[in-house]
Structure 1
């Protein structure tokens, strides 16, 4: 099942990378009327959420900076000022974090997991739950992005 989840995440991250490649910095930063975030925030958020759901909840170090976590964590609001350098960093993290996750799963580094409740009401009890929820979570944000792009 892990391989199917990783394949799903990798496919989604390729879709997210196409947003970065297909839209200008201004478009990535634009928050359309009626929305509370933008394209780049949604992409940064799925990376930060994955790290928190999988690594932080397993008492392992995350692979993103504290600055990115603060800027893209749940409940944060984008300022519409992501730089081109930040966008490029996010694009690299789309794949480097997945590569790291795949390696760490193969290496069996995940030994414990602290159960958590998501804002959507899911109880995540273990690593497998976290992996499954991550695909669901990313699907939600891809849907939001598909709605946002209609207004750019």
Structure 2
């Protein structure tokens, strides 16, 4: 925290933002000029193909190549989206668990100071243990429709 305040006071943050903005501008210009170059290369390839095959045939070939390329891109995206979604879901669960653990640890000293605090910890703890036992003894084929967390 102290390092952050020191960097703010010294102006390093402003300099870092200026560097980031400059870098983004350079990358944007590079992407634009690269796209223009790629467009000219496609145009040149079309002209070469049109000279070899004819205008109509070249247009059909280029159209087919771009459509097939688009379909391949969509297929690859569709095939990789399932594992990506599962990884994101696991990451969210992990983050939520870490957050709940940190919050529980942070509130623990406050609860233990009060005489009622021990009881306040025991009741939810026993509920969690009872639920874990219930889940363990439930058959694999049965689905608990009453638990909104399983949906």
Give your verdict on TM over 0.5: no
Greater C-alpha Rg: 2
Q: Which structure has more helix as a fraction of its residues? A: 2
TM, length-normalised to structure 1: 0.25
- Relative contact order (C-alpha < 8 Å, sep 6+): which is higher? 1
